[in-house]
Amino acid sequence: MGISHIPSMLAMSDMSQALLQFQVYWPKERQLPICGVTSGLSGIAIYLLKRDPNDYPWLIGGVAMTFFGFYTFAVIYPDSIGPLLKADPTKDKDGQHTRSLLEKFKTYHYPRMLTGIATFIAYTYCFGFK
């Protein structure tokens, strides 16, 4: 969402339309942090069950994916996603409040995206593409 949707929303001249687009789109994305936590805990469990030091990427990937989910719930949601979902487009006349919340979301999203890429690499390594 951060690489494609948020920049396109920020490029819109009508922030009320950008806000409506976010409010319609986010519920479809909501399950991703839950999948991140599930995936992360699964990776940690695999590492703990196998107890093989060569499988450390499972632990790294698991911790990273768990971070991805909890980072969304603890940092991004209360500070940008929640306010965007509750915002009333008719009360933000110049669009500055909406724009600042979208900018904040975009800023928060990059560490989450980089964590996701690192986790993908770690998990791919674990599946034998060494």
Mean pLDDT (the chain) is 83
Average pLDDT rounded to a whole number, residues 95-118: 85
Provide the domain limits for residue 120.
5-126
Average pLDDT rounded to a whole number, residues 15-39: 85
65 and 37 Cβ atoms separated by less than 8 Å: yes
pLDDT grade for 45, boundaries at 50, 70 and 90: very high
Average pLDDT rounded to a whole number, residues 81-95: 83
Distance in angstroms (rounded) separating the CA atoms of residues 7 and 22: 12
φ and ψ at 74, to 5 degrees?
A: -90, -30
- Angle at alpha carbon of residue 20, lines to 18 and 23, rounded to 5°: 110
- Check residue 118 and give its pLDDT: 78
pLDDT grade for 2, boundaries at 50, 70 and 90: low
Distance in angstroms (rounded) separating the CA atoms of residues 47 and 5: 35
Helix (H, G, I), strand (E, B) or coil at 13: coil
Average pLDDT rounded to a whole number, residues 76-105: 86
Distances (CA, A) of 92 to 10, 13, 106, 112: 15, 13, 19, 28
Q: How far does the chain reach from its first CA to its final CA, in angstroms?
A: 30
Report the domain count for the chain.
1
Q: Which residues of 84-114 are buried (b: 16+ CB within 10 A; e: fewer)?
A: beebebeebeebebbbebbebbbebbeebee
